[in-house]
Amino acid sequence: MAQQAYMTETDNGGSGPEHRGTRLRRLFDRLLSGWRGDPRIWRRGLVVAGCAVLLAVIMLLHAQIPNAIGNLGSLIETFLPWLGLFVPVLLVLALVRRSATALIAVLAPTVVWFNLFGGQLSDKTVAGGDLTVVTHNVNAENPDPSGTARDVAASGADVLALEELSPAAVPTYEKALASTYRYHAVEGTVGVWSKYPLSGVRDVDLDMGWTRAMRATVTAPAGQVAVYVAHLPSVRVKMEAGFTARQRDRSADYLGEAIAHEPLKNIVLLGDLNGTMNDRALNAVTSQMRSTQGAVGSGFGFSWPASFPMARIDQIMVRGLEPRSSWTLPQTGSDHLPVAARVRVATSGS
């Protein structure tokens, strides 16, 4: 009797799957009722369709957008993934305008975006690895350097790179990290802390007038690794000048030249590059190294600003090493998130 009562209730407009499907079909039919037999669906929404095509072209040909005016190309490339937010907006406008032309046009930026960034929506982590590295711009105005040091040390990093070290805060970081890391070196405003011996420590000239990059050899159990720590100059977006990044671009060229002449085979670059992997201005570096986030990360790994990350400007890049996993760490007292990676040291040759 209970089963019969249930069937009767369902047959009379209950919540069974057949009736849910019927309601969805009726709703869909109502949405399309204003479209059927209306030839204007192909003439309406041409502006929306044009915007969709333009968005697809910008994403597809972003490397061809010139930097001559306010470094516009680099600015777009810095926030390139966020252009995908315009796709649902255009889709809604196409539906509101009841434009078949616009709906078809919206497919173009959708396909381009997924072609560029769809791979970053999946977790590409691979098990294994024998060296964990972390980089963190600790912020010179960090109100809690001791807490920040404890947080990054708790990540289990074998090699830790810190940028934007103020002279006054260096002793605090040295004291807080001493129990975890036996070896460390500081050059200017950057430093490296390691569980394994360091040698060959020197500053790297970025043509800035003061030291914001360094190089050291870490002798890990699996072999020697050349570790570069860098903090490239900041960039600004100004109404009168656009995307001001000339000094950063010049420093990136100097950093790329230093890495190109590195004698060791295994190299890892840790630091705040103030630019994303999509930014062609960093080509001197990105063309010869591999991003751990792009290779084995999950998601986009945005690192700045820490309160609402919008761009991946803190990078871990490798050459000769095999990335296995990449991730961001929880927020500290800095305006950047720490980023981490685990890599496999394939050989120890130089």
| Average pLDDT of the segment spanning 202-231 | 97
Same domain flag for 231 and 312: yes
DSSP E strands: which ranges in 232-338?
236-238, 242-244, 267-272, 290-291, 314-319, 322-328
| Residues 280 and 142 reside in one and the same domain | yes
Least confident segment among 21-25, 119-123, 160-164, 170-174: 21-25
Is 2 inside a domain boundary?
no
DSSP 98: T
Do 232 and 337 fall within a single domain? yes
Q: Are residues 110 and 211 in the same domain?
A: no
Per the domain annotation, does 23 fall within a domain? no
**Does residue 9 belong to any structural domain of this protein?**
no
11 in a domain, yes or no?
Answer: no
Residues 159 and 110 in one domain: no
In this structure, are 185 and 332 located in the same domain?
Answer: yes
**Co-location of 152 and 275 in the same domain:** yes
Task: Indicate whether 171 and 311 sit together in one domain.
Answer: yes
pLDDT at 161 over 90: yes
158 and 111 within one domain: no
Residue 15: predicted pLDDT:
56
pLDDT band for 7, please (50, 70, 90 cuts).
Answer: very low
Domain end, chosen from 121, 152, 180, is at 121
CATH number of the domain residue 314 falls in:
3.60.10.10
7: in domain: no
Average pLDDT over residues 330-338: 98
pLDDT at 156 exceeding the cut of 50: yes
Residue 22 located in a structural domain = no
Q: pTM for the full model? A: 0.85
Does residue 57 fall inside a structural domain?
yes
Boundary (domain end) residue, out of 121, 152, 175? 121
Q: Are residues 158 and 287 in the same domain?
A: yes
In this predicted structure, which of 3-17, 31-45, 102-116, 280-294 has the lowest mean pLDDT?
3-17
**The pLDDT value given to residue 1:** 46
Q: Where are the alpha helices (DSSP H) in the chain?
A: 2-11, 17-33, 46-60, 72-78, 86-97, 100-117, 145-153, 170-177, 246-260, 283-286, 292-296
- The predicted structure's pLDDT at residue 348: 47
Instruction: State yes or no: pLDDT of 62 exceeds 90.
Output: yes
Domain membership flag for residue 1: no
Task: Identify the band that residue 128 occupies on the pLDDT scale cut at 50, 70 and 90.
Answer: very high
Of 121, 140, 156, the last residue of a domain is 121
Chain centroid to CA 136: how far?
A: 14
Report the domain count for the chain: 2
What integer pLDDT is reported at residue 27 of this predicted model?
55
Q: Are residues 205 and 258 in the same domain?
A: yes
Buried b (16+ CB within 10 A) or exposed e, 125-161: eeeebbbbbbbbbbbeebeebeebbebbbebebbbbb
- Model pLDDT, residue 6: 44
Whether the CA torsion 261, 264, 265, 270 is positive or negative: it is negative
pLDDT in tens, 266-304: 999 999 999 999 999 999 999 999 999 999 998 999 999
Same domain, 178 and 303: yes
Tens digit of pLDDT for each residue in 217-264? Answer: 999 999 999 999 999 999 876 544 445 688 999 999 999 999 999 999
Q: Is 339 helix (H, G, I), strand (E, B) or coil?
A: strand
CA distance 303 to 339: 7
- Looking at residues 2-19, what average pLDDT do you find? 51
Owning domain of residue 67: 34-121
